């Protein structure tokens, strides 16, 4: 596994006719595809998804050292992605401020083995 810094990515999917069930099934496939890619030496982790039913859009949230690995994961999972973009999450801290959430290589996360 790489020691490169992991970034957060969003695989954006415009998906006419998507349902919560089809989105969940695709999420299961994305999780399996990410596991396969980790087995091939890629630092990647599927983090979940956001479903916007009125827009027929799903955002798949992924941490990886490579946007190419995210594209590969989405393709293997048969997720109809249109684009993969790096993302920055702002999370509230213990006070009243929001700060950037930082990622680290998945192999370095607590409980992860490489």
- pLDDT, tens only, 11-27: 999 999 999 999 999 99
- pLDDT, tens only, 46-73: 999 999 999 999 999 999 999 999 999 9
Q: How do the domains of the chain map onto residue ranges?
A: 7-108
Q: Which helix (H) or strand (E) holds 70?
A: helix 67-76
Cα–Cα distance for residue pair 64/2, rounded to 1 Å: 10
Its pTM stands at 0.77
Give the CATH class of 7-108.
alpha beta
Q: How far is CA 79 from CA 1, 25, 49, 54, 58, in A?
A: 25, 10, 12, 19, 9
């Amino acid at each position: 596994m790489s020691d490169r810094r992991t970034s957060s990515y969003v695989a954006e999917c415009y998906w006419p006719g998507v349902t919560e069930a089809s989105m969940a099934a695709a999420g299961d496939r994305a999780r399996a595809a990410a596991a396969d890619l980790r087995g091939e030496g890629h630092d990647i982790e599927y983090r979940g998804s956001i479903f916007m039913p009125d827009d027929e859009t799903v955002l798949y949230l992924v941490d990886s050292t490579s946007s190419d690995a995210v594209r590969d994961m989405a393709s293997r999972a048969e997720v109809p992605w249109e684009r993969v973009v790096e993302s920055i999450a702002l999370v509230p801290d213990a006070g009243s401020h929001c700060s950037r959430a930082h990622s680290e290589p998945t192999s370095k996360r607590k409980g992860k083995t490489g």
